[in-house]
Structure 1
Amino acid sequence: MPKFPDFHFHPGTQLRLRLSSNYFTTHPDYLVLLALSALVGAIAGLIVSMFEIAIHFMTDYRIHYFDELGLPAWITAILVIITGAVVAALGFWLTARIAPETAGSGIPHVEGALDGLHDIRWWRVLPVKFIAGVCTISSGMVLGREGPSVQIGGAVGRMCAEAAKRFQYAPHVLTASGAAAGLAAAFNAPLAGILFIVEEMRPQFRYNFTSFKCITLATLMATIVLRYFRGQEAVMDIPTFKVPPLASLWLFVVLGIVFGIVGIYFNRWILRATAAFKKYHHNRLLKVTLTGALFGGVFAFFQLYVPDISGGGIALITDFVREPMAWAILVLLFALRMLATISCFASGAPGGVFAPMLALGTLLGLAYGIVAAGLFPDLVAEPGIYAVAGMGALFAATVRAPVTGIVLVVEMTDNYQLILPLLATCLGATFIAQALGGSPLYSALLQQSLAAKAAEANAAATVDAEQSNAGEVPADVAADATAATAGGEDEKPATSA
């Protein structure tokens, strides 16, 4: 009787394995894995849909709750800012106290789980990522819900894998399927969800025909569930542009070079800022919570008075593409949002950077398009085309997944006819970023996290050894050393100051 498809890839045998009849088997085990993948996609799509609804509800409720009280405008504004600080502080506290692995986007955590370096405690990740993510994102911080959606989907996959413990590779396949489903549901982009796993997580994902079918089925189910709630329209309501002339493609290559350089520094600044924040608070609960309150209050203020510098940026993209401003103002907004994006994401808030990156790409691409339209009026059809190309270019330069960036942008904007300009821009950005020695963002964050954990474990072991030599080992030091070296826990919960 045919066995479950083999996931071991020995050198020189991949072609034989992919052509094996095992991949087309009707064995019950195989059908169980496909059924579980569909279930993972449906559950992930439902939770991600509720995640989006909850963020919009919390944002509107917090901003407009005090309007009916008849208070003076300045008092209402103060109350809105205070509530922003409180909900953000709650999100930071929940993350640090209960599930530290939910800090940030969570994508490096999923990649580590696929590589066997992390375990996904789904019973903590799911509620904490959902509630804390709603709190921090709705406070006005420059964060996206797409990265958290990937981690939520991965956690759903690991949860459903509990029903398939006897299948050795079920946790890996279902985690990858859930992550793909989460991204597909977040962006309403099923093809981008599939490609994100195959391209961006290629070092961790064990690709074969069976696992590919599983992630495809999961993204299909997640997208169906999402579209049941929000309809089948594209995420971004922007114009459909005409295909630019072939003679203008060199302008898109130049734009890709610009974004390749920008992407290198964007990644470096995020890594440095992340390390600086961790050095500042040392996982102390009070400092982490106060950091959240500060960020929540500041960006709640921006949300009221300078909305272009707050939020994930999806609404900003549609507004500016339809009604662009002067290129100098766009560059200024790009610089301000760059600083805000790096600060918010590096703070450890449970939120992603996908949507803020797309907003940054839009601003700089649109500014470039306005300048190019003035210099080469016969070549540039619409400055907005460069905004669309800029979204994919910054994604390609930072995440180092150009095909995913191209497909993601065309699915989100419904501008499938811009494939060729996007190819020129995204490949140019990727080539430059690689030539300058940059590392993919999420892989670099994973390596940074693992290095920090190893340093903490070594420091704890050194202290333990010194105390042992002295003949006295305090219980709290031994407990910290045990927690730092345990494989089942990803990070130690934050301690009080």
Structure 2
Amino acid sequence: MHNHHEEFQFATGSILNFVWRGILIGIASGVVVSLFRLFIELIFEQVKSFYHQAQSNPLLLLPIVAISLICVVFIGILIKSDSDIKGSGIPHVEGELKGLLHPNWWSVLWKKFVGGILAISMGLMLGREGPSIQLGAMTAKGLAHFLEASRVEKRVLIAGGAAAGLSSAFNAPIAGLLFVVEEVYHHFSSLVWVTALVASLVANFISLNIFGLTPVLAMPGNLPSLELKQYWIFLLLGIFLGVLGYIYEIVILNVGNFYDKLGKMLRLPSYFYGLIAVVLTLPIAYFFPQLLGGGNSIITSLSDSHLTLEIALLFFIIRFVWSMISYGSGLPGGIFLPILTLGALAGLSFALFFENMRLLDARILPLFIVLGMAGYFGAISKAPLTAMILVTEMVGDLRQLMAIGVVTLVSYLTMDICKGEPIYEAMLAKMTLPSNREVIEPTLIELTVSDKIAGKYVKELTLPKNVLITTQVHHKQAEVVTGNTRLTAGNTIFLVVNEPEIDTVRKLLM
């Protein structure tokens, strides 16, 4: 009970408590993720240059491939020692905030850092953003360890670290905050949003000092606009992106089956599946080296690349298939930026089709690249607000927010009609959770009284066993809860729950 009293004191403490913790997280996570991003960019440029040179001198492929295979074996050894560094890392962060996973922060931090740099920079179609979010979260967890933080404080710090990680990776601090609230934490908590916003801003400041003020996906010139009478095209684009997003989700959730079957045939353990990905990526690396990597340079070059519809579709198909091959291998790398790249190619292909039909002018093509990114990511992540703000921050142009909002909303609704799930939640659901969890301990969580339970007495609620509502807070006035306490909409309530039941309780009451 003493621990819960300390947790409650933290949760209802001064806003300055959250601010200074957010500053610490922002500095630590900003440095770690900025270095991660810097090493990837420096090494990847060299790798891509080698592949370009190999087109005129194929013998250069031998040392590149040999080094890549050695790196993949080393990464496989790291994965074998700690499976929590596999893939994106975002489902792992979600799992920890739900009390389902308890990774070793130091093990994940250094192994994901090293393994992620090697896997992403060798040219596979993996993104740095998911790993950046996990690195930010684990940095914050380490900070919580040194601060001897309570469990509720540790979750807040981890959420703040995740936001700082995304902010550093994309130079998008507001999107970092929104992503944590909308996709990772699933609850608009005053504890979280203040800490996450401060951490995001500080981490972004560090990142800007290293990479400069230019937006990550800055488009040349100003984005053109479409006349209001042509907005019906945005509705069709949204539907198109929503359907494509649903197909993406089905494939990526099942690509592991392809690797399992191939691994059995080759008698290859799962932690060495990266060897298959490197071999399968070799033809693309030789013939289309410009398509390698997460996709930053692809997106920024599309607006003045003068691609035909056929080439744009070919590039989309190649990026789609090899993104699946890269991610399905389990190597440390994400799908965040690859999704945005696919969205940009899908939006461009859509616009080129309408241009061929003489319904759009060629000057409008850059707008559809941006709309494609927002709509495609919004559908797959089912985090439309994050998608809208993320793309706006990355492109650096606020004037097309209306068009972005229309396309993202329609793509999100299309995905929902198709029964698509938020991709990271679906990935978490497919993960094999460890049977050797830490001893389950009760912890304190805070929730906002929703319309679902507002006006009810506590004794009328059907709560899981071992769940106790302790306090209701209104304008910092705390009221001890009994069975006869009436819950008021908008108030904050504090509950004692077992960690693995956090998500169940949230879904029950929110």
2:198 maps to 1:217 = yes
2:328 maps to 1:343 = no
| Aligned partner (choices 18, 37, 60) of residue 52 of structure 1 | 37
C-alpha deviation, 1:290, in angstroms: 4.4
2:24 maps to 1:39 = yes
SS at match of 1:339: helix
CA 172–400 in structure 1, closer or farther in 2 if over 3 Å, else same: same
Equivalent residues in 2 for 1:168-187, closer than 5 Å? 168-187=151-170
Residues 132-176 of structure 1 show CA distances to partners (whole Å, capped at 9, x for unaligned) of 111111111110000000000110111111133353411100000
Counterpart Cα distance in 1 of 2:396 and 2:211: 16
2:295 maps to 1:295 = no
> What's the counterpart of residue 308 of structure 2?
326
> What's the counterpart of residue 264 of structure 1?
246
CA 66–299 in structure 1, closer or farther in 2 if over 3 Å, else same: closer
Q: Contact between 1:37 and 1:214, CA under 8 Å: does it hold in 2?
A: yes
| Aligned partner (choices 107, 110, 115) of residue 124 of structure 1 | 107
Counterpart Cα distance in 1 of 2:9 and 2:405: 33
| Aligned partner (choices 51, 56, 66) of residue 82 of structure 1 | 66
| Aligned partner (choices 82, 88, 112) of residue 99 of structure 1 | 82
The TM-score with structure 1 as length reference comes to: 0.81
C-alpha deviation, 1:248, in angstroms: 1.9
2:335 maps to 1:385 = no
Counterpart Cα distance in 1 of 2:48 and 2:141: 36
Amino acid at match of 1:253: L
> What's the counterpart of residue 230 of structure 1?
211
Counterpart Cα distance in 2 of 1:319 and 1:401: 26
C-alpha deviation, 1:190, in angstroms: 0.5
C-alpha deviation, 1:309, in angstroms: 3.5
Q: Report the more deviating stretch, 259-268 or 305-314.
A: 305-314
CA 488–310 in structure 1, closer or farther in 2 if over 3 Å, else same: farther
Q: Contact between 1:120 and 1:158, CA under 8 Å: does it hold in 2?
A: no
| Aligned partner (choices 341, 352, 358) of residue 370 of structure 1 | 352
2:87 maps to 1:137 = no
Counterpart Cα distance in 2 of 1:83 and 1:186: 26
Residues 374-397 of structure 1 show CA distances to partners (whole Å, capped at 9, x for unaligned) of 435467851121111000111011
Q: Tell me, which stretches of 5 or more residues in structure 1 are unaligned?
A: 9-21, 454-483, 490-497
| Aligned partner (choices 382, 389, 392) of residue 400 of structure 1 | 382
Q: Contact between 2:271 and 2:330, CA under 8 Å: does it hold in 1?
A: no
CA 354–65 in structure 1, closer or farther in 2 if over 3 Å, else same: closer
Tell me which protein shows more helix as a share of its residues: 1
Q: Contact between 1:259 and 1:394, CA under 8 Å: does it hold in 2?
A: yes
| Aligned partner (choices 200, 212, 221) of residue 183 of structure 2 | 200
CA 242–83 in structure 1, closer or farther in 2 if over 3 Å, else same: same
Between the two proteins, the alignment pairs up a number of residues equal to 432
Q: Contact between 1:255 and 1:365, CA under 8 Å: does it hold in 2?
A: yes
Q: Report the more deviating stretch, 80-89 or 254-263.
A: 80-89
SS at match of 1:277: helix
Amino acid at match of 2:226: P
Q: Contact between 1:142 and 1:341, CA under 8 Å: does it hold in 2?
A: yes
SS at match of 2:216: coil
CA RMSD across the alignment = 2.7
| Aligned partner (choices 113, 136, 154) of residue 96 of structure 2 | 113
CA 65–353 in structure 1, closer or farther in 2 if over 3 Å, else same: closer
Counterpart Cα distance in 1 of 2:363 and 2:52: 45
Give the fraction of aligned pairs with identical amino acids, expressed as a percent.
Answer: 28
Counterpart Cα distance in 1 of 2:194 and 2:6: 14
Tell me which protein shows more strand as a share of its residues: 2
CA 147–378 in structure 1, closer or farther in 2 if over 3 Å, else same: closer
Counterpart Cα distance in 1 of 2:367 and 2:135: 33
Q: Contact between 1:85 and 1:294, CA under 8 Å: does it hold in 2?
A: no
Counterpart Cα distance in 2 of 1:214 and 1:47: 18
Q: Contact between 2:97 and 2:185, CA under 8 Å: does it hold in 1?
A: no
CA 325–166 in structure 1, closer or farther in 2 if over 3 Å, else same: closer
C-alpha deviation, 1:53, in angstroms: 1.4
| Aligned partner (choices 475, 487, 491) of residue 437 of structure 2 | 487
Q: Contact between 1:106 and 1:150, CA under 8 Å: does it hold in 2?
A: yes
> What's the counterpart of residue 462 of structure 1?
none
Q: Contact between 1:62 and 1:84, CA under 8 Å: does it hold in 2?
A: no
CA 378–336 in structure 1, closer or farther in 2 if over 3 Å, else same: closer
> What's the counterpart of residue 393 of structure 2?
411
> What's the counterpart of residue 466 of structure 1?
none
SS at match of 2:342: helix
CA 194–384 in structure 1, closer or farther in 2 if over 3 Å, else same: same
Amino acid at match of 2:251: W
The TM-score with structure 2 as length reference comes to: 0.79
C-alpha deviation, 1:67, in angstroms: 11
Amino acid at match of 2:230: S
> What's the counterpart of residue 132 of structure 2?
149
